[in-house]
Structures are given as C-alpha cells and as structure tokens.
A and B are shown apart, each in its own frame.
Chain A
Amino acid sequence: MPADADDLVIATPAGLYCPAGDFHVDPWQPVARAVITHGHGDHARPGMGCYYTSAAGLPILQWRLGAQDYRAFDYGEPFALGRTRVSLHPAGHVLGSAQVRIECGGTVWVVSGDYKRQPDPTCAPFAPQSCDVFVTEATFALPVYRWPETAAVARDIVAWREECAARGEAAVLFCYALGKAQRLLAELRAHTDQPALLHGAIAAGVEVYRAAGVELLPTGTVAEQAPRGGGYAGALVLAPPSAAGSPWMRRFRRVQTAFASGWMQVRGNRRRRHVERGFVVSDHADWPALLQSIEQSRARRIIVTHGAGDALVRLLGERGLAAGTFDTRFGSED
C-alpha cells in the first residue's frame, strides 16, 4: 500500500516508525525510542535507547532484556512523543501486552501488536479502540482457524495426563515459555490440583508471573524431582518446543508428547511436529476475532503486519475497506 505523506506509521528498514512522534514500534534494529507492545523476542529486542512499555509488561522486559532505560505507563495513561499523544491499551496476548494508540492532529492510528479475544486469566482483556487506521496482526488469518473453548481444552489436557499416568508415561507438553506456559498453568487450576513440572527455560517466566500476582497451578522443576520408582510416570511436564528431540528428553524413559498452539488446529502441523497430541490453545486472534476486532475498530483503513495476511487483505478489499500490508519481521510462533 503506498504511504501517504501524513501517515502516522510507516514501514522502514528498522521497523514500524511514527514520523510525527519520532519513535518506532517493536523495531528490529537499534533506535532511539522504542514503544514495545509485549515481551516476545521478535517484538522486544535489545539495543534500544529508551523503551516505552506498559507497567504490567515492565517485569517481563526486565527479565528478558535486563537493565535498560524503561518508561512504564498504566493502560490508558497518555504520554507525549513528538507531536503525538500515545497511550497503551490491553491486547489480551500475554501479561502486559499492549495496543499502541497514536493520536496526532485529530487522526488516530492503533498498532495492535499481537492480540487475542479469548478470556485469559493471566492478562487484561483486549480493549477495542476506535481509530482511523488499524494496524493488525494476521498470524491466523484464515477461516479454518476458530478456537475451541479454552476450558474444554484444559479438561482434555488433564484427561490426557491421566491416560499417560495409566500407561506409566510422562506427559510432556511443549509450549512457548512466555505467555502460553503461564496461561496453561492458570487454566489448569480449575481442573486439577496436581502440580506440573517445569523445564528450566519455563520456570523463570513462571516466577515473573507469580511475582506479578497471577495465580498459577503449583509447580516443581524437572531437575528437582529425582526419578525414583515410577520416575516421571503420570507427571505433566511443561517444556519449550526447543526441548523436543533434545538430550533433555532422555530422562523420560516412557513419554508422550504434545504441543499447545493454535497451529495444532491443522492436523498436518501436528504430524509434522511428531507429537502424539496437539492442543489448540492460542494467544493470537482467530479468524472470527480478527474480523470482529477490525469491525470494532471502525477504521476505514486496515494494515496487516504479519502472518497469512494476503487472504485477509483481499477479503477486506472486497468488503470495501482500504487494506494493505506492512512487511515486518515479526514471527508466527504461538
């Protein structure tokens, strides 16, 4: 989409840039001022002069990026950058995730970052913002992606663990270490009180959430529990996807593996990952939620940043909206 001279956000080699405010949103190259939507590695990178973040997201950035020049703001609390008035609003993606609302001379742009519309006990729910231009993610922008109720999936996970227990197997559930793991632990609380064991790479993030006051299922770490007798039989273990096929897995002599992700909606993805089970739990908007959010934004122009955007852009175009894409380096992990 050709940029207008007065566009509030444009795509540049360093990342999405707001010329009127002279700041970037989730840049991938070092810049002076970076407004960060959330703490995932493809959105929050080291090397920025100054980080603007939601207060709720600050502990995550401190954990991931260490000591930096942070400016933290409550949701909805406006601050001035250049000629613009900026505020952060809940995106419902992970703890502290934010949409960036940018206002300048009566025009409002919202950059969604990653977001979802399903309830999530670990973070504030997505708050729709009216705007002129809505810059949206499109990780799961095809109608085949429609998420099941999370509670039903949590019950399936518990049933699966019980099945594994009956067979003398450990139940290793792969999930991303920031956000997904904590959401699973929070959702599982309603259905079980058996503690889950954590891979080391997940334990740190779980502590950040606990310190922020998010209630999670009790946990232990895998290293702590020596495998006596039954070893890890019947244990639910959360591990990052990178642990799949690694030597770390050898400690579970009898094991079933599963992956918790929106990608598991399609069977081919599950089989490609060589896991026994796929649980559809996503921290991104599904197709109906994308359309709903676009509609609620009341924007007349939609810009899609990453994911399967082509179909969405074409559909919005057919529905009479101005729709285009920004080329970004955000990933499609979930």
Chain B
Amino acid sequence: MRRFVALYRRLDRSTATSDKRAALVDYFRTAPPADAAWALWLLAGGKIGGAGARIAGSGELLAWIGEVANLPAWLVEECRAHVGDLAETLSLLLDDPAAHDDTPLHVWIEDRLLAVAGQDAAARRELVTGAWAVLDSEQRLVFNKLLTGSLRVGVSQRLVQQALAELGGIDIALIAQRMLGAWQPGPGFLAQLLSPQQTAADRAQPYPFFLASPLEAPAGTLGDIGDWLLEWKWDGIRLQLIRRGAEIALWSRGEERLDGRFPEIEAAARQLPHGCVIDGELLAWPAEAAQPLPFTALQTRIQRRKPGPKVLAQAPARVLAYDLLECEGEDWRARPLHQRRDALQQILAACADPRLQLSPAVAAADWSQAAALRDSARERGVEGLMLKRRSSPYQAGRRRGAWWKWKLDPLSVDAVLLYAQSGSGRRSTLYTDYTFGLWRDDALVPVAKAYSGLSDAEILELDRWIRAHTTERYGPVRAVQPLQVFELGFEVVNRSSRHKSGIAVRFPRVLRWRRDKTAAEADRLETLQALAR
C-alpha cells in the first residue's frame, strides 16, 4: 500500500493540476497492474464493500477506535466534530507502530477487506483494528478512507483520464467512455482501458455526457442569436437512451443504469431504429398536462426498481430528447449540432411516441426577447434557458464555450440562523453548515440547510459568533441565539409532506449576510409557501 499512500500524499500536497497529473502518470507507469487497477477504482470514486458487503459502518468505527484508544465515546465524537473527517479522526487517535507494513494495496483490499465484508462484527473488528496496529499514520489515513468512502484528494475523473490517455497514448474520449458504468477493478480491465484498439466491450458503453456551464457574461456577448439553439432548461434527470441491437439501456448522468425503473420509456425506445443513442431529459409529465410535474414527483420513481401501476399512473415519465450521439451505429458526436438535431427530429417523427419527444427549440428574435422568455421560466416549470451553439460538436464533460445554461435568478428570503455544524475538508474545524428558519406565528421553523455563499472572512467571523452565542449542543450541532439574518437564494420551492415546514427548497445557498436586519424582520413561512408549487 506504500506506493498508493505516496501517491495520495503527493496529490494531497500539490495544488497545481499539472503536478497532480504528473503524479498520476508516474504512479500508473510504475505500479503493478493489480494495485493500479484498485487505485484507479478508488480515484474514480469507487468504494470497497458496500451494500450487503459491509466492512465497517461509521458507528462501528467510532466505537472500535474508542475501545482501542481507550477514550469515551463522547470524546471520540468531539474529535470527529473538530476534525471534520471521520477517516482522518481515526488516524489521528493512535500512535504509530514500530514496524513497517509493505503489504500491497490489492492484497489489503482483495484478501483482507473484501474477505471479511459482510461477516459478523467480531471478524470485521479484528481485521480493522489489526490494520490500525500495523499501519503508520499516513497509511492509516488512506486505509480509513477505503472504509469510509471517497478519497477526496482533489482529483477529478477527467484528470485521471488525462493521465491515462497520456500514459497509453490514446484518446481521452475513449478512456472516458470505457470508464462509464459498472466495471470490475483488475489487471484485465486496466489492459482493456488502455487498449489502443476498439474492443467489443466499447460497443455496450454510453458516451460521456457533455455538460453546459453557467452563463456569467451578458447573453449579448455571445454574438448573433441566429448561431444559437435555444431550449428550455428542464428540471429532470439527464439521461442517455441507448438502442443497440436487441439491447435497450437507460443511463443517468450519475452513470447508473436505470433499467426497469422506467418501463414506459423502455417500451417507447423499442420503436427506435437500431444503432441509435439519444441524450435527453427524463421528466414526470402526465399526458394531458401542459407542464411537467415538479422534480419531487420524479424522485418518487428513481428508487423504485419495479414501479407498480399506481406509481406509473401518478408520475408517468417522458423523455425530452436533446441530441443524437449515435446514428445507424455510427458515432455522430463530431458532427455539428444542427445536423444531429435534424436527424434526431426525423427519428422521433418516425417513432411518433408521445413519451419520446424533441425538446422544442425556443424562438427568439434577439437576446432581449430571449431574456424575457427566460423570465417566464418559473411559470412554465423550467429552470431557465439552454444556449447551444448550432455548429458545436458533442464534447465530453463540462467544457466552456459552446453550451451554456442560463438559469433564472434565484428566489430569495431573509431567514434566521438557528443551528450550525462544522463543515468538512477545507472547512472542517469551522462551523460552516447552517440551518435557517422562518417565522410561523411567533416561532422560527427550520426551512433550509445551506453551506456556501459567504466569503472566507465572513465564515471566520460567523464561526466566532456561533461559538460565543451557542445556547445548546447536540453532538456536533450547536443551537445558536436566533439573531443573525441571512438572505437565502434557491431555485425552486416544492410542497413536501416530509418536511416539518411543509415545503422543500431546491439548491439553497447563502446570498448575503443581512447585518442590517434584526431577526424580527426576517420573512414569514407563508412568504415561502406562496412561492411553492
């Protein structure tokens, strides 16, 4: 594991992307394939064990470290709240052993961790505490991160893919495509990933999604509006619909197969010609309705592997198609958007199924008319406009320049800070996760949690304020005197029976600190309820 720990340390220390990439190339060039395959798995965000093959839950880890380090549970919890990261906390509470451990990464994972996964607690505890006893603090940190989830070492998927493309001398798009979906970490996969030839497995894979960037400059700077395709920005689930041979596959942007969850879409896709891949948005949208249902309706379907007739009737799904990535078995991504869209339109027209529709083009004569249309987005149940250059190829990942999302300005309310919890990563040891409330009668009801939007200086100041004005502590959470008012922005407000306030806000964030307002001047819950749909 030493080599991988050294890579982790090098990645953790470097701030420049080029240094991180060089570290990755060095590692993959020299690491034994059996280890490198697991390193790739971990860097790509893969976990060890998981549902049904549990190695250690956070509660167990906290209990075990307390026993091993001879500390009461409350003190372990206090440490975790202070450090902000469970894996790091566990590694800091023990002293280093005298001996060195040189066991390779794949042996640790395959022969030890996976060997006890899902077994009784005593066996898992013995393995984990045994590892703590032989690993030094840097090794323990990485080992604990294998247990608790992601590495979080500032390496994006794309950076790993760049390093592998550089190492193998192959196109990054091919690497990215091969890494989509489920794969088994092993020397075989690594060899196939770096193979310069097209392989049979390549044919079953989706393409990496092309993601739009938020438009920050005025739309007028984009030039002639005639060069741009305008579409509504739908608030659903981005997906790829693959029709290859007998196979139909739905892939979400989270690179998950949605097979079986949306049978009506799969049925509609059977009418598509073979060798066809469509990029679109999945929405809950009853046939007779003028607008899609809010995102919360779609959420009721994501987790159901086999939806019953009642669910299917309450939240029927529909795909609004944006793009055609593959046509008659040929990769069309390099062709200009207008060409891809023309072909898409013809395919959908021939298919004529209301569950597969073209995402309509929004007509605007100039940018000011477009801006007026964007302002109407909320009443249409969309998030804003998408702007896509008609000549653009379909790229991979979030690349600036050709595709922009032009979202509505957020809704906002003035809310009172009620609770604070320490953050994670760069913001651990600081109280940066805030819960805000609005007035209902003469009480404050929590309505939103928000993390971002304050400057570093404001975060520090607020952290000090929180510590000095704590009224009660519940584990890592502090209740504070309800005095500070913040303007919160959010995209959408939905009615929700799952929330105490009766509403759920989407993408809440702190817009600014309203030092000019007293808590009594904060908004009432009814104000937010009036915005709900």
Instruction: Please list the residues of chain A having a beta carbon within 8 angstroms of any beta carbon in chain B.
Output: 142-146, 265-269, 271-272, 276-277, 308, 311, 314-315, 318
Closest to B154 in A: A271
Indicate with 1 or 0, residue by residue over B215-253, a CB within 8 angstroms of chain A CB atoms: 000000000000000000000000000000000000000
User: Sorted from nearest, which 4 A-B pairs have the closest CB atoms?
Assistant: A268-B428, A144-B92, A271-B426, A144-B79
**In-complex Cβ contact of A268 among B12, B79, B85 (8 A):** B85
> Residue B58 at the A interface, CB < 8 A?
no
Indicate with 1 or 0, residue by residue over B81-96, a CB within 8 angstroms of chain A CB atoms: 0111100110011010
**In-complex Cβ contact of A144 among B89, B427, B430 (8 A):** B89
How distant is A317 from chain B, measured CB to nearest CB, in Å? 11
Q: Is the CB of B72 within 8 A of A268?
A: no
Closest to A311 in B: B78
Indicate with 1 or 0, residue by residue over B74-110, a CB within 8 angstroms of chain A CB atoms: 1100110011110011001101000000000000000
**In-complex Cβ contact of B72 among A266, A271, A277, A315 (8 A):** A315
How distant is A164 from chain B, measured CB to nearest CB, in Å? 12
> Residue B14 at the A interface, CB < 8 A?
yes
How distant is B26 from chain A, measured CB to nearest CB, in Å? 14
- By a CB distance below 8 angstroms, the chain A residues around B95 are 146
> Residue B343 at the A interface, CB < 8 A?
no
Q: Is the CB of B72 within 8 A of A318?
A: yes
Q: Is the CB of B93 within 8 A of A315?
A: no
- By a CB distance below 8 angstroms, the chain B residues around A144 are 79, 82-83, 89, 92-93
Contact A268/B13 with A144-B79, A318-B72 known, Cβ cut-off 8 Å:
no
By DSSP majority rule, is chain B's interface helix, strand, loop, or mixed?
A: helix
Q: Is the CB of A265 within 8 A of B92?
A: yes
Q: Is the CB of B78 within 8 A of A276?
A: no
- By a CB distance below 8 angstroms, the chain A residues around B121 are none
* Sample of 5 more A-B contacts, CB < 8 Å, known A142-B82, A144-B83, A311-B78: A143-B75, A143-B79, A144-B82, A146-B95, A315-B75
Instruction: Give the most central of A142, A265, A276, A314: most B CB within 10 Å.
Output: A142
- By a CB distance below 8 angstroms, the chain A residues around B82 are 142, 144, 266, 308
Q: List 16 A-B contacts (CB under 8 A).
A: A142-B75, A142-B78, A142-B79, A143-B69, A144-B82, A144-B89, A266-B84, A266-B428, A267-B12, A268-B426, A268-B427, A271-B426, A272-B427, A272-B429, A314-B75, A318-B72
Closest to A271 in B: B426
In the docked arrangement, what's the CA distance between A188 and B471, Å?
47
Q: Using C-beta atoms within 8 Å of the partner chain, give the interface range for chain B.
A: 20 to 34
In the docked arrangement, what's the CA distance between A269 and B88, Å?
13
Q: Is the CB of A311 within 8 A of B75?
A: yes
Q: Is the CB of A268 within 8 A of B92?
A: no
In the docked arrangement, what's the CA distance between A269 and B424, Å?
11
> Residue B425 at the A interface, CB < 8 A?
yes
- By a CB distance below 8 angstroms, the chain A residues around B197 are none
Q: Is the CB of B78 within 8 A of A266?
A: no
- By a CB distance below 8 angstroms, the chain A residues around B13 are 276-277
How distant is A253 from chain B, measured CB to nearest CB, in Å? 15
In the docked arrangement, what's the CA distance between A266 and B85, Å?
10
- By a CB distance below 8 angstroms, the chain B residues around A315 are 72, 75
Contact A266/B83 with A271-B426, A272-B430, A276-B13 known, Cβ cut-off 8 Å:
yes
Contact A267/B79 with A146-B95, A272-B430, A318-B72 known, Cβ cut-off 8 Å:
no
- By a CB distance below 8 angstroms, the chain A residues around B75 are 142-143, 311, 314-315
- By a CB distance below 8 angstroms, the chain A residues around B429 are 266, 268-269, 272
Q: Is the CB of B88 within 8 A of A267?
A: yes
> Residue B71 at the A interface, CB < 8 A?
yes
How distant is A202 from chain B, measured CB to nearest CB, in Å? 25
In the docked arrangement, what's the CA distance between A277 and B75, Å?
28
Q: Is the CB of B92 within 8 A of A146?
A: yes
How distant is A275 from chain B, measured CB to nearest CB, in Å? 9
- By a CB distance below 8 angstroms, the chain B residues around A145 are 92
> Residue B455 at the A interface, CB < 8 A?
no
In the docked arrangement, what's the CA distance between A271 and B11, Å?
13
- By a CB distance below 8 angstroms, the chain B residues around A314 are 74-75
- By a CB distance below 8 angstroms, the chain B residues around A271 are 425-426
- By a CB distance below 8 angstroms, the chain B residues around A318 are 72
In the docked arrangement, what's the CA distance between A311 and B456, Å?
27
Q: Is the CB of A272 within 8 A of B426?
A: yes
- By a CB distance below 8 angstroms, the chain A residues around B426 are 268, 271-272
> Residue B184 at the A interface, CB < 8 A?
no
- By a CB distance below 8 angstroms, the chain A residues around B89 are 144
How distant is A260 from chain B, measured CB to nearest CB, in Å? 15
Closest to A308 in B: B82
